[in-house]
Structure 1
Amino acid sequence: MNRRIFLSLLLAVTLVATAVLAGCGKGDSEKVKVRIGEVTRSLFYAPEYVAVAKGFFEEEGLDVELTTTPGGDKTMTALLSNVIDVALVGSETSIYVYQQGTDDPIINFAQLTQTDGTFLVAREAADSFDWNSLKGSVFLGQRKGGMPQMAGEFALKKKGIDPQADLELIQNVDFANIPAAFASGTGDYVQLFEPTASIFEKEGKGHVVASFGAESGHLPYTVFMAKESYINKNKKVIQSFTNAIHKAQLWVAENDAEAIADVVLPFFENVERDILISAIDRYKQQGSFATDPIIDEAEWNNLLDVITTAGELEKRTEHSELVDTSFAEKAIEAVK
């Protein structure tokens, strides 16, 4: 073959290969990075981990970076300071920011959980549980003004228990250290998320005696939210994000606890599979996982009732002020 022709063919092949590789690289770079900050690592958020593990975010053109920022205050600080783009945290945090006054409110756009996610864990086992047994006890509570504590107090008051008068209430332990404090001997009762509650049961450190989720009713307990400015600049990203979450919600609804546990196992490397299954089953049985991302007005009003009962609400913040259901509604139409 003529050397000139050979070199021409080689150059053509090289150009084609370069174009193909460049095209592949371009496709990869087109994935939009979204930084998520979750308030804690819990099986309560199983659909979020399913969305990551099953590739639902990738299908929607997103490259998510998931970080755990323990506690609602830390998560909201990360969001306000632009360390993260989207927060997974209780809706009450967006209300607090709004009522302090802001030109860039935090907008709730997709719901992940619809009940409280904590369980009442007693140090001593009992054949039957009576809520009145809490009276006079030492109760290791959650952060004042946080959703776990407020939902817990709401449930206690429904049972005729005044948390401030009937309990020795401890609230000065940092969120991330509450399980360790109880394990070391602090308190007769504690509120714990899963899988910690099930782990404590298995290790004999405590006994689950009741569910705060079952007692406090439906509310937008944990929600994906972002700054209004971010949403306005990234509407396509928020829509894709919500689509991915809804795909995961449907998958979780259609599969049993064992199948879900196998998918989320990499996010809980130090937790035994049987614990994962038990914890997920508890959440499924009480309907904690939202089956769609819509934050409806009835749930929002129940949330306001819970915050008001806790004495943490200056004035009622209407659903229309901090909730945008348009992305959730479109996701339901798009994802079948």
Structure 2
Amino acid sequence: MNPSRLLAPGLAGLALLLGTSAVLAESLKVGYLPVTGHAKFFVAQEQGFFKEEGLNVELIEFANSADGLNAVVANKLDVGAFGTTAPLVHYAKGADLRIIGGIMGEDAAIVVKAENADKIRSVADLRGKKVATVRLATGDAVLRGALKDAQVNWKTDLEIFELKNPPAVLEAVKSGQVDAGVVWGPHDIRAEQQGLKVVIRSSELQPGHPCCRLVVRSEKLQDKKVLRHFLRAILKAEKFAAENRKETIDAIQKYVKLDRELLEQAYYSPHLEQRSDPNIEGTRQFWDVLVSSEFVANTRPVDPIFEVKLYNSALKSLAKEQPKESFWQERIDEAKRRDVL
């Protein structure tokens, strides 16, 4: 007799005992950056929201958005959250990508040595200076757009150096190799702890700008049910993080190896937005900035990059399960303003 036939009834019984999610769990490879703004990934993993949704998620760390988005494009990741600039730049070049949600917004900052803080009060003061950024970072694109608005040519009027990650930017500023650097949380707080000064925040240059969109290759949209469950887990994590500080910082600390107090200050910062929607309105504006600042060539319309039905379906399903929970209704109302195609 075939041994597998003997095992089959036992496995079926085990499935009934453990529940179908244990047997039917869908595997997803999800790319992230080791920053406080990506806390919802960590909370969803540590609080079991991915498992609740029948998902077996492997979180894969990347040093910067450029490397992470390359992995999405190369089909090495199922989902990635790597800035707003990186996916839009790839999309402008013809990549078949879709934005299904978001992880964070704003949060970037320009830092300088304390003795230079009075000399650099606006982006116009960067004329003739050396500035370090992280390649394809959201803050980098926001800066270049602001320079264009200030009639400063970022190609000729200053030198921009694209480094690998925020710690490298901080070291370049501290050592005097550059005059200013663009980083994001929690590295803005780390900069101040190391004696540097935040002189400009990205929210001042482009209020409400999105960062770190949830991006997939369009072929992944065939797995609509899986992606819907993924977005449900992210939304659950957003709600949990808004209501449970200690457990949220516990989760972040497992993935971002920095001081607990610093992580809490960075995550619950007024400069960090934590919405999970695609933010179509904000991303359109960001695209316009990329085009006007000549960061990308306007070769295709941006609206086809958005897939909002999955987010709306995930959100409304949670609201239906908890009809008295105002958190979900607030998000539904926001989506009616921010996510209209």
Instruction: Assess same fold via TM > 0.5.
Output: yes
Match of 1:68 in 2: 61
1:213 to 2:206 alignment: no
Cα distance in structure 1, aligned partners of 2:11 and 2:94? 53
Give unmatched runs, 5+ long, in structure 1. Answer: 1-13
Find the partner of 1:330 among 298, 309, 313. 313
- Residue aligned with 1:218, SS: coil
- Residue aligned with 1:171, SS: strand
Q: Cα 1:26–1:249, aligned 2, differ >3 Å: closer, same or farther?
A: closer
Match of 2:248 in 1: 260
Matches within 5 A, 1:198-237: 198-204=189-195, 206-232=196-222, 234-237=223-226
Q: Please identify, of 63-72 and 214-223, the stretch whose mean Cα deviation from structure 2 is larger.
A: 214-223
Cα distance in structure 2, aligned partners of 1:120 and 1:94? 22
Matches within 5 A, 1:156-305: 156-158=147-149, 161-167=152-158, 169-175=159-165, 177-204=168-195, 206-232=196-222, 234-255=223-244, 260-269=248-257, 271-282=258-269, 285-290=270-275, 292-296=276-280, 298-305=281-288
Residue 17 of structure 1: how far off its partner (Å): 7.3
Deviations 1:214-270 (A, max 9, x none): 3212333211111111221x11110000111111222233455x663233221123x
Q: Please identify, of 320-329 and 78-87, the stretch whose mean Cα deviation from structure 2 is larger.
A: 78-87
Aligned-partner residue type, residue 278 of structure 1: Q
Aligned residue pairs: how many? 309
Residue 314 of structure 1: how far off its partner (Å): 2.0
1:108 to 2:93 alignment: no
Residue 158 of structure 1: how far off its partner (Å): 4.4
Residue 294 of structure 1: how far off its partner (Å): 3.6
Q: Work out whether residues 80 and 215 of structure 2, in 8 Å CA contact, stay in contact via their aligned partners in 1.
A: yes
- Residue aligned with 1:221, SS: strand
Aligned-partner residue type, residue 305 of structure 2: L
Aligned-partner residue type, residue 273 of structure 1: R
1:122 to 2:112 alignment: yes
- Residue aligned with 2:76, SS: coil
Cα distance in structure 1, aligned partners of 2:8 and 2:144? 68
Matches within 5 A, 1:36-115: 36-38=30-32, 40-101=33-94, 105-115=96-106
CA RMSD, 1 decimal? 2.9
Larger radius of gyration: 1
Cα distance in structure 2, aligned partners of 1:227 and 1:15? 36
Residue 52 of structure 1: how far off its partner (Å): 1.8
Aligned-partner residue type, residue 182 of structure 2: Q
Residue 95 of structure 1: how far off its partner (Å): 3.5
Cα distance in structure 2, aligned partners of 1:279 and 1:159? 29
Find the partner of 1:35 among 14, 29, 36. 29
Residue 180 of structure 1: how far off its partner (Å): 3.5
Find the partner of 2:133 among 126, 136, 141. 141
- Residue aligned with 2:251, SS: helix
Cα distance in structure 2, aligned partners of 1:138 and 1:27? 53
Residue 27 of structure 1: how far off its partner (Å): 4.5
Match of 1:7 in 2: none
Give unmatched runs, 5+ long, in structure 2. Answer: 1-6, 320-341
Aligned-partner residue type, residue 34 of structure 1: L
- Residue aligned with 2:297, SS: coil
Q: Cα 1:264–1:314, aligned 2, differ >3 Å: closer, same or farther?
A: same
Residue identity over aligned pairs, in percent, reads 21
Q: Work out whether residues 91 and 108 of structure 1, in 8 Å CA contact, stay in contact via their aligned partners in 2.
A: no
Cα distance in structure 1, aligned partners of 2:155 and 2:11? 70
> How high is the TM-score relative to the length of structure 2?
0.79
Q: Work out whether residues 92 and 299 of structure 2, in 8 Å CA contact, stay in contact via their aligned partners in 1.
A: no
Q: Cα 1:334–1:165, aligned 2, differ >3 Å: closer, same or farther?
A: same
Cα distance in structure 2, aligned partners of 1:15 and 1:71? 46
Residue 152 of structure 1: how far off its partner (Å): 1.6
Aligned-partner residue type, residue 148 of structure 1: G
Cα distance in structure 2, aligned partners of 1:31 and 1:238? 13
